[in-house]
Amino acid sequence: MKKHLLVVDDDDDMAAFLREAFEDRGYDVATAHGSAEALAVAREQRLDVAVTDLRMERFDGLDLLDEFLRVDPTLPVILMTAFGDIGSAVAAVKRGAFHYLAKPFKLDELTLYVDRAFEQRRLKDENTYLRVTADASAGVGQILGMAASTRRLVEIVRRAARSSAPVLVQGESGVGKELVARALHHEGPRAARRFVAVNCTALPEQLFESELFGHARGAFTGAAQARRGLFVEADGGTLFLDEIGDMPPALQAKLLRVLEDGQVRPLGTDVPRAVDVRVVAATHQDLDARVKSGLFRADLLFRLRVLAVDVPPLRDRAEDIPLLVRHFLAAARRRNSATTVERLAPAALERLCRARWPGNIRELESVLERLVVLGHGPEVAADDLPPLGDDLPAPLLAAREAMPRLRVLEDEYIAWVIERCGGNKTRAAEILGIDASTIYRRGRGPG
C-alpha cells in the first residue's frame, strides 16, 4: 500500500524537489503552498506524514501544526526551519511536532526522519486496530476505519449518543447502519438496557402492529396468549426500526403517536402503557421523495429526523478497506478453521481498494468469506479475486448503478396505479399483475 506524505512549502522548487525525491522512494506525495490548501488535503485524505516549513511568507508553520493536530491528533509532523528558528522548532516539538530539521540539511537526513515517522504511524495504526477489534462488541469500536469520513461519523455518533432524541440513520444498503444504531445505544446512557431490532420489510402488515405494540389475549384469531410487543421489550433501552421507509402508512400514524406521547396501546385493549424508549430508525431510501409520493408521513419524518446520521458508502472511505479486510479475513478464518488462506497479496489488496463496492461493507465481507472458503494456499493473489465493480464491462456497470433509480421509478408507478384505483390496493395488484403483498411492501399508498 502507498505511504501518503504531504509537503507544505511556499517555495515551488523545494516542493517539487521533495515530491520527486520521495516519490522515488515509494511515497504518494501531495504538495501544498499554503495553510488552507494543506488543511484541505489533510481533511480529504488520511496522511501518514506531513513535512512543512516553519516560516513562510503567507502563514506560520506553528499555526499549521496546531490545525493539523486538530484534524488528526496522531499525524506525525516534521518541521523544516532556519538555524535562527531553533527555539521555535523546539517549542513546536513540545506542542506535538514529531521532529524538526535545521536548514540546510541533507536529503538522506530528512528521509530518515520521514521513514521513522511513517513507522511510528504504522505502529500506532496497528495498536488502534488491536484496540478497536478487541472492543468491537460495543460502542463506536464497531465502526472500523480511520478515513476522515469515518472519523467524522464516529464523532457524530458519540455526540448523538448522549441524547434520547430519535435518530434517523441514512445510507446505502450494506454500509453498516445497524452497527451505527448499536453504537448509538452502547455509547449512550441506555447501554445497560436492551437494544431491540426489527426489519420493517420482514413483517407482513397484518402482524406489524402486534409485533410493535403487543396484543391482549383473544385480540384476534390465534391470539391465544398476550404479547408484550417490541416497544415494551425495549423499555428503558433502544428500539431500532430498520428500513423505516417500508413501514405501512397505518403503522406510521401509530408510531408517530407513540413518539409524541410515550405510550403504546396493545391490540385488543384501550389501556395505554407508558414506555421510555429511544427510537433509532434507518433507511436506504430518499424519505423526502417518499413523502412527496404520499408513501411516507411528513410529520413522522420530522419526528424521526431530530438527529440525522449519514453513513458514507465504502467507495468514499477507501482508506478503511485494508483495516476492514484484515478484520473480516480474521473473522472468516475463525469460522473456517480448515482454511489455508492467511493473507492477501499486495496486488490483491490494491484491487479491493480500487473497487466501487455497490454492496458496500456487506459485499466486501462476502467476498472475503468466499476467498477463505474456496482459497488454496496461504496467499490470495489478485487473479484469485472474483469480478469486482472495477472489472465489469461499462454497460453492465452502468446497468448495476441504475438499479436504485429503477426501484424508485417502480415504486412511483405502483403508487400512481393505487391512486388511479381510488386506493384499492387489491385492484391495483390485479392491474399490475403482481402479488398483493408486493403492493403492501413497496407501493403503500394512502389508505
Phi and psi at residue 129, to the nearest 5°: -60, -45
234 and 271 in one domain?
yes
Position 254 scores a pLDDT of 92
Our CA angle for 385, 358, 356, nearest 5°, is 60
Cis peptide before 104 (omega within 30 of 0): yes
Please provide the DSSP assignment of 384-413 as one string: GSPP-GGGS-HHHHHHHHHHHHHHHHHHHH
Max Cα–Cα distance, the chain, nearest Å: 89
Q: Is 283 helix (H, G, I), strand (E, B) or coil?
A: strand
How much of the chain is helix, strand and coil, in % rounded to 5? 55, 15, 35
383 and 418 in one domain?
no
CA 89 to CA 82: how far, in whole Å?
Answer: 9
CA 410 to CA 201: how far, in whole Å?
Answer: 17
Contact between 278 and 225 (Cβ < 8 Å) = no
159 and 286 in one domain?
yes
- CATH code of 235's domain: 3.40.50.300
Position 202 scores a pLDDT of 81
Task: Indicate the residue among 295, 310, 325 that finishes a domain.
Answer: 310
Q: What residues pair up with 215 in beta bridges, in sequence order? A: 227, 267
Phi and psi at residue 404, to the nearest 5°: -60, -40
Q: How many C-alpha atoms does 315 have within 13 Å on its Cβ side?
A: 11
Task: Indicate the residue among 356, 371, 391 that finishes a domain.
Answer: 391
Q: Give a yes or no: residue 234 inside a domain.
A: yes
Show the cell assigned to 357.
463496492
Position 443 scores a pLDDT of 47
399 and 432 in one domain?
yes
- CATH code of 75's domain: 3.40.50.2300
378 and 266 in one domain?
no
181 and 306 in one domain?
yes
Domain count, the chain: 4
CA 205 to CA 220: how far, in whole Å?
Answer: 14
Range of the structural domain that residue 76 is part of: 3-130
Q: Give a yes or no: residue 281 inside a domain.
A: yes
Q: Give a yes or no: residue 209 inside a domain.
A: yes
- CATH code of 410's domain: 1.10.10
Q: Give a yes or no: residue 169 inside a domain.
A: yes
264 and 282 in one domain?
yes
Q: Give a yes or no: residue 136 inside a domain.
A: no
324 and 304 in one domain?
no
In 162-285, alpha helices (H): 177-186, 205-213, 230-233, 249-261
Position 5 scores a pLDDT of 94
Kindly tell me the burial class for residue 61, based on how many C-beta atoms sit within 10 Å of its own C-beta (0-12, 13-18, 19 or more): buried
Residue with grid cell 404520499, as numbered in its chain: 294
Contacts of 223 (CB under 8 A, 6+ apart): 210, 215, 216, 217, 267, 268
CA 343 to CA 337: how far, in whole Å?
Answer: 14
Task: Indicate the residue among 79, 98, 130 that finishes a domain.
Answer: 130
Position 83 scores a pLDDT of 60
| pTM of this structure | 0.61
DSSP H or E segment with residue 278: strand 278-283
Q: Give a yes or no: residue 45 inside a domain.
A: yes
Q: Give a yes or no: residue 257 inside a domain.
A: yes
Full pLDDT tens readout for the chain, 447 residues:
568 899 998 888 999 999 999 999 999 999 998 888 998 888 877 789 999 988 776 677 788 888 888 878 788 999 988 765 677 778 888 888 999 888 888 899 999 999 999 998 888 776 655 554 544 455 676 788 888 899 999 999 999 999 999 999 999 999 999 999 999 999 999 988 889 999 998 887 778 888 888 877 766 666 667 778 899 889 999 999 999 999 988 899 999 999 999 998 888 788 888 899 999 999 999 999 999 999 999 999 999 999 999 999 999 998 899 989 988 999 999 999 889 998 998 889 989 999 999 999 999 999 999 999 988 889 999 999 988 865 544 444 444 444 444 455 566 667 766 766 777 777 777 656 666 666 665 544 333
Rounded to a whole number of angstroms, the CA Rg of the chain reads: 27
- CATH code of 367's domain: 1.10.8.60
Q: Which sign, positive or negative, has the C-alpha torsion 311, 315, 320, 322?
A: positive
Q: Give a yes or no: residue 137 inside a domain.
A: no
Query: DSSP class of residue 293?
Result: T
273 and 156 in one domain?
yes
384 and 248 in one domain?
no
Position 260 scores a pLDDT of 94
Position 134 scores a pLDDT of 47
322 and 269 in one domain?
no
300 and 153 in one domain?
yes
Q: Which of 54, 309, 385 has the alpha carbon at shortest distance from 157?
A: 309
